[in-house]
Copies of this chain bind each other. A is one copy, B any other.
């Protein structure tokens, strides 16, 4: 007699475990549509830039908007704590590795200046760009009206894990359904990773959900707290919630997979897992125009008592335009992301992101070692 089981453990998958299967029909890349729609906004590419200080400042936000994507400005980082944020960012890039955690903890202990919130939004809007900006749930009640007044186009509420209901005695937050009433802009909330959590958030009336806990390059949430769900499963579960919610209510809530991408291949797999768009951090931090100057760090890194993450060196490889549209000068899949996505969709026979979500995906455990095998033989 087998012993009774304490609990069920479901198998999950990340990008490394899966691969896409070519379709029965192939399509020429130029026949393919990669549009991403969020309520009234349609973007030519389904790419968002992470609300992280190493990735998005006002200049980067304007540039990505011009190129067809959407950058999210973090309203609780250096851009709203320092008038001259750029000097602070330059200083972070110059600090040696062994001092950087302490230095970041100090930098991020400066108070947020409320006047800078509106100012940063206006900077982006004045340049003619679509402006998305993010706050944490704790500060939503306070900052949301300021953002609305400044004319934010898309409002993002984001923390490591965000749920429709939060228990606290230290602050009284705003419910997302109340937020939806007072905020004219579409609202994106995250992060979450499960069917139930996603469905609860959708019922509040929001427009998009950020999917991903623990996968990012600059994040150690999984090591520190054990919490994290691999991105393929997390995206699939939240996409299943989207389908159910659509069927029940007729409303389509966008699934935005956030974090853990290393190559164009990973991005393609996110769409095949059900994503409507992806949010990129490290990959965009490699752009010449990124404020991180070749470095990247998570927004939980500066936590005073429990830092989760570290500053990593990602380098600056090329312009943002080359990262997005090529031509690629490297062959590892980190440049010409739009070209890679179109090529992948063409091979899989997907005319649109919606069709890409239905492409066959398989578990492909084989790590690619052929190249290493033949190279290693040379070394003998």
Contact = CB atoms under 8 A, between A and B. Distances in A.
A102 interface: yes
User: Taking the full assembly, how many copies of this chain does it contain?
Assistant: 4
25 contacts: A4-B243, A5-B236, A9-B18, A11-B362, A15-B366, A18-B226, A20-B227, A21-B193, A21-B194, A22-B229, A23-B161, A24-B196, A24-B197, A28-B166, A30-B169, A31-B168, A161-B347, A217-B370, A217-B371, A224-B344, A225-B264, A226-B272, A261-B370, A306-B339, A313-B374
B282 A307 contact: no
A373 to B, nearest CB: 5
A16 interface: yes
A214 interface: yes
A227 B344 CA distance: 7
| Leading 6 A-B pairs by shortest Cβ distance | A14-B366, A3-B195, A217-B370, A226-B268, A225-B344, A226-B265
A46 interface: no
Interface in A338-363: 339-340, 343-344, 347-349, 351, 358, 360-363
Interface in A280-322: 282, 286, 296, 301, 304-310, 312-315, 317
Contact of A167 (B26, B218, B307, B315): B26
B224 A265 contact: yes
Contacts of A80: none
Contacts of A362: 9-12, 229, 233
A223 B193 contact: no
A366 B16 contact: yes
A332 B26 CA distance: 39
